[in-house]
Structure 1
Amino acid sequence: MALPLNIDDLINAKTVESVRIEFKQGWNPYSILKTVCAFANDIDEYGGGYVIVGIGEQDGSPVLPPSGIEQKDLDNIQRDFFKLCQDNLKENIFPIIEPVLFQGKWILVIWVTTGEQRPYKASDSPGKNAQMKIFVRHGAITKEATREQEIRLGELSIYKHYDDRINPRATIDDLDLGLMLTYLQEVKSQLYKEAQGMSLVDLCLKMQIARGAAENIRPLNVGLLLFCKNPENFFPGCVTNLVEFEDDAGTKYAEKQFSGPVHFQIRQIMDYFNSTILKQYVRKEQKVAETTKFFNYPYQAIEETVVNSLYHRSYENPTPNEIRVYRNGANRRIEVLSYPGPLPPIDENALLQLKVTARNYRNLKLGDWLKNLRLAEKYATGIPTIVDSLNRNGSPKPILSTDEAKTHFLVVVNTHPDTPIESENTATELEIISLSDLQQKILEQLVKEPSTQNEIKGHLHINTKAELDYLLGKGLVKAKKSGKSTMYFITPEGRESLNNNF
């Protein structure tokens, strides 16, 4: 049977971190056994790993095309592997081992998930003098565990990630076969074709989204979050409320709600942002041929913020996520609020400094599925991706915050400083008008209060008619009759132009 992911993406580390992949050119049983043991111990909480037999490795990268395994040897190796695990691993684990035809050669992919009875031990060698030892991964290296690491594994064995737990309130029928097949087809998994003839229970077990005794197979929480049409029935917090404010006071607003599987929510939210909120502008300066393009909010930064809010939140918490969009006013921004706050050791100070380096995850399994869909970044790269995207767009850095009790996690993304007042167009040409010192002073005066030409002349002690005519022609000021006088006031475009000339 095939695996529920794209093999080419796996081998080239496109959706799985390279430290979770070990290549073996040939069948070396006890070396492979140690790696299997280390992946099952999963001391860094990566989510297990993959051993790929039949492909060599050089400087951490696969040597392609593969050397492969003779087809006639595949069955014997699989039988040997099963017996090897049975006799030389304590506690027993039996990872999935799958023959795959890749680039015209047969290879074996061994999928090892995080074990439920850590720490695991493996024989360090064949023969009577073999000793059972605990092995762990340090980066891409498998080694014997230290005493401190043994203690750490004992601590990890007590805790099970919420998304990897069986949901006792759900049944297999709460999972939707159509959603599962759609996923397998999208990631181009070879399991998609095989799944057509499988029962729902068998497919759930194969995808490792259900577990239990044969007579009582039940879904895991991660399965419900991704493959249940209404996961909010089991997790009230699996909903995102979006509120758009039209004024600074927050009295005029519109609301929209997104629900359904987590990856569906992400895409629906981003489709809405892309069609309604995100806009590109072209800035053209006078007397300069080049133009500069920028977005009010760069897509990648917003997508990563939305993904993080659904990936890292706790689904034991019933409070839905909230996205607030402030479209007008002096402080236009997008706020994304999720519950609860970050896990230790991340605190308020670390967030203020944008130093997010922790490796603790609430939803380890969910992250793997989202990465297969290329919706989530690899480990510890989400916040740097947001910062980098904003920086390349010329936008301010994001503001990350929580409270002392870590009841929530707030991300604030401010609009690009050159974003003009909202336009109906998705791409707007923004002309940067170079102002003389006198024109700037006129606009500064009008920022304080609307004035007549004589009042402006009185403040600046110079005739300003020519400059006012220029500013009127550019739409930076407007004139309005007030009795016998004409009052001049600054337009939103005038404010933008004044800001751009500082």
Structure 2
Amino acid sequence: MTREELNELLQTDENFRIERTASTSNMDKFQEAICAFSNDLPGSGKKGYLLIGVNDDGSVSGLKVDDALVKKISGIRSDGNILPLPVMSTEKVETEKGDVLAVAVTPSLFTPVRYRGRVFVRIGPRKDIASAEEERILTERNAAHLATFDVMPCREATLDDIDTDIIKQQYFPQAIDTETLETDTRSFTEQMASLRLYNKQYDCPTMAAIILFGKQPKYFMPGCYVQYVRFEGTTKAGKIINEKEFKGGLTTLLPRLESFVADAIVTQRPEEISLLREKTVTNYPGGALRELLMNACMHRDYQSNTPIRLYQFDNRIEIMNAGGLYGEARPENFPHVNAYRNPIVAEAMKVMKYVNMFNRGISRVQEYLQTNGSKPAHFNVNKLTVFEVVVMDANVTALERTHDELRTKLAQLDDNFKIRVKSLICNINRDYYSARELQLRMNSAQTPLELRTSSARYFMVHILKPAIELGWIAPLYADTPHHPKQKYKLTELGITMKVILSEENHEI
């Protein structure tokens, strides 16, 4: 925006397209204005402007716009309080008397737009909550912009095909402001239509209503379910150990899927760090799998007959849904640019708290995995018709990392010590042994005569003690090294080293 364009807006009286404010902290006021501009009740099709740093009389207040303010106002677009997401841009304009932060809002094609469950509109220079009649106008206008599959009418369906109790008791109270809902005298179908769940022209639920609240969505969309398969091994050629199908509307399917992931997929096991310490190792962080499955349900192509595939192998999980990147999202800008194939489904999942913040899902997944010690998820975004993500089992990841670390440590050791410790480790198991028993096992036929030792002290100082310091062997009485009944055993790290030495037959 140029200064000339700004001056023109400043000299124009406040109207249905312009709102001025000197405040920088009244976020409710800002979001109500953006919501109202998005609804564009007059139907002008022209952008609305929120001018921050401008007094009511059109004079510049002297504000200094910093990056923090720009970031805060820009964040309104994707924080999920305004649904469907507004189309808006922010721009700082410098003048002699101060800065102005201009927020340009494009009228939405998917009205009514709500801010925290309320529909705001502008009537001339005044902003207010829409009346029932005004909301009806916005709803009917939306019917002319059927641009996505989820807002299309499901003409075979009736109200008997959806769970109306969930809509009335769970969804409406979260999607519509309490005060508005209490005074709402519209019929149930009119209320549904205002949320794009019902098509009044054809007198039937929309596809979004069937996807979200349908009793048998698979009847209308054959691919509308989640298929879980557990394969033995690391390929689809392996024996099928378990398989399960999750079907129904998302509001009933998702809780069952979450419980299944937590109970049947995510496992935890203690891993010994020392004789007295353990840590818990989780194969897959539940939060990451939940986020990925919610993402698949929200973004999938529901016109496809292919279900969401949740495939588990010995070393990884693959999640695949029909429909590649959508809209402005491209492989080169993924995951920084997002577009919604199913905006009504996405809105409902946000309202019902299945997803927390738009455009944050991928980064949250990677954060969960990093915290768990897992490898980053791999997203295959180059396929045109499907979206696929692969998550590696953290146990496999940890084992690979441990193997690499042990090989590196092994390469740094003295050659003679390597030979002796190999003879020692490869000739014992998980039992406890006295120092004398360990010395005898080290002096096995595998050890050259010149490297065997009959000195108990030499064995303790130069072989057993270093092995303990490396974490490969641990004493039974760690706090009393010279305990008369002291014994020793292989640690988990020592067992891994034994595997490396045995399988790879290191030349040491």
Q: What range describes the TM-score normalised by the shorter chain of this pair?
A: 0.5 to 0.7
Q: 1:399 to 1:273 in 2, by over 3 A?
A: same
Compare 311-320 and 374-383 and name the one that shifted more.
374-383
Indicate conservation of the 8 Å contact 1:238/1:262, yes or no.
no
- Where does residue 221 of structure 2 map in the other structure? 235
Find 1:221's aligned residue among 194, 207, 215: 207
Superposition deviation, residue 176 in structure 1: 2.0
Task: Provide structure 1 residue ranges, at least 5 long, that are not aligned to the other structure.
Answer: 1-20, 45-57, 62-88, 101-106, 119-156, 422-431, 475-488
Note if 1:457 corresponds to 2:457: no
Q: 2:253 aligns to what SS in structure 1?
A: helix
Structure 2 CA distance for partners of 1:172 and 1:220, relative to 1, 3 Å: same
Q: Contact conserved, 1:420 with 1:493, CA < 8 A, in 2?
A: no
Give 1:211's match in structure 2, choosing from 192, 199, 211. 199
- Equivalent positions of 1:343-358 (< 5 A) are 343=326, 345-348=328-331, 355-358=334-337
- Counterparts of 1:228 and 1:275 in 2: how far apart (Å)? 26
SS class of match (2:447): helix
Per-residue Cα deviation, 1:365-404 (whole angstroms, up to 9, x for no partner):
1111101111113221111110111112221100111444
User: In 2, Cα distance between the equivalents of 1:39 and 1:462?
Assistant: 95
Give yes or no for contact 1:247–1:326 (8 Å, CA) kept in 2: yes
Residue pairs, 1:82-481, within 5 angstroms: 109-110=129-130, 160-184=147-171, 187=174, 190=178, 200-213=188-201, 216-248=202-234, 250-283=238-271, 285-286=273-274, 292-327=279-314, 332-343=315-326, 345-348=328-331, 355-404=334-383, 406-417=384-395, 438=418, 441=422, 454=444, 456-457=446-447, 462=452
8 Å contact from structure 2 (residues 425, 498) kept in 1:
no
1-side partners of 2:291 and 2:41: how far apart?
Answer: 31
CA distance in 2, matches of 1:452, 1:363: 66
Distance 1:414 1:370 in 2: 27
Q: Which secondary structure does the structure 2 equivalent of 1:322 belong to?
A: strand
Deviation at 1:34, TM superposition (A): 4.2
Whole-angstrom CA distance in 2 between matches of 1:40 and 1:497: 75
What is the rounded CA distance, in whole Å, between the counterparts of 1:414 and 1:459 in structure 2?
46
What residue is the counterpart of 1:495 in the other structure?
496
RMSD (CA atoms):
5.4
Distance 1:492 1:195 in 2: 67
Q: 1:180 is paired with a residue of what secondary structure?
A: helix
Q: Relative to structure 1, is the Cα distance of residues 490 and 197 closer, same or farther in structure 2, using a 3 angstrom cutoff?
A: same
Cα shift readout 1:103-145 (whole Å, capped 9, x = no counterpart): xxxx964598988869xxxxxxxxxxxxxxxxxxxxxxxxxxx
Match of 2:39 in 1: 36
CA contact (8 A) 2:228 2:311 kept: yes
1:152 aligned partner: none
Contact 2:39 2:108 in 1 (8 A): no
* SS of equivalent residue, structure 2 residue 394: coil
Q: Give the drift of 1:344.
A: 5.1
Rounded to whole Å, the distance in 2 between the matches of 1:325 and 1:199 is: 46
Change (3 A) 1:326 1:40: farther
CA distance in 2, matches of 1:442, 1:191: 78
Structure with higher Rg: it is 2
Residues 39-75 of structure 1: CA deviation (Å, up to 9, x unaligned)? 989999xxxxxxxxxxxxx9669xxxxxxxxxxxxxx
**Deviation, structure 1 residue 221:** 0.8
* Per-residue Cα deviation, 1:133-167 (whole angstroms, up to 9, x for no partner): xxxxxxxxxxxxxxxxxxxxxxxx97701111112
CA displacement, residues 10-49 of structure 1 (integer Å, 9 cap, x when unaligned): xxxxxxxxxxx97349x99xx98645329989999xxxxx
The code of the aligned residue for 2:319 comes to: V
Q: Structure 2: give runs of 5+ residues left out of the alignment.
A: 1-25, 48-67, 74-106, 120-126, 400-405, 428-440, 476-489, 501-508
Contact 1:185 1:192 survives alignment (8 Å): no
Across the two proteins, how many residue pairs are aligned to each other? 353
Per the TM alignment, residue 194 of structure 1 is displaced from its structure 2 partner at its CA by 5.4
CA apart distance, 1:94: 7.8
Report how far residue 325 of structure 1 moved. Answer: 1.2
Higher helix share: 2
Q: Is the 8 A contact 2:223 2:307 kept in 1?
A: yes
Tell me by how many angstroms 1:494 deviates: 2.1
Q: Deviations over 1:420-445 (max 9, x none)?
A: 89xxxxxxxxxx9x999758745997
**SS of the counterpart of 1:309?**
helix
Post-superposition offset of 1:319: 0.4
Superposition deviation, residue 256 in structure 1: 0.7
Partner of 1:425: none
Q: What residue number does 1:121 align with? A: none
Whole-angstrom distance in 1 between the partners of 2:248 and 2:268: 30
Higher relative contact order (CA 8 A, sep 6+): 1
Q: Secondary structure at the match of 1:240?
A: strand
Q: Is the 8 A contact 2:266 2:283 kept in 1?
A: yes
2:51 is matched with which residue? none
The percentage of aligned residue pairs carrying the same residue is: 19
**How much has 1:410 moved relative to structure 2?**
1.1
Residues 358 and 457 of structure 1: CA distance in aligned 2, closer, same or farther (over 3 Å): same
Q: Quote the Cα distance in structure 1 between the aligned partners of 2:319 and 2:279.
A: 28
- Relative distance call for 1:349 and 1:175 in structure 2 (3 A) is same
Residues 270 and 192 of structure 1: CA distance in aligned 2, closer, same or farther (over 3 Å): farther
Alpha carbons of 1:270 and 1:317: their partners in 2 closer, same or farther (altered >3 Å)?
same
Q: Distance in 2 between matches of 1:281 and 1:413?
A: 19
1:219 partner amino acid: P
Compute the displacement of 1:459 (Å).
Answer: 11
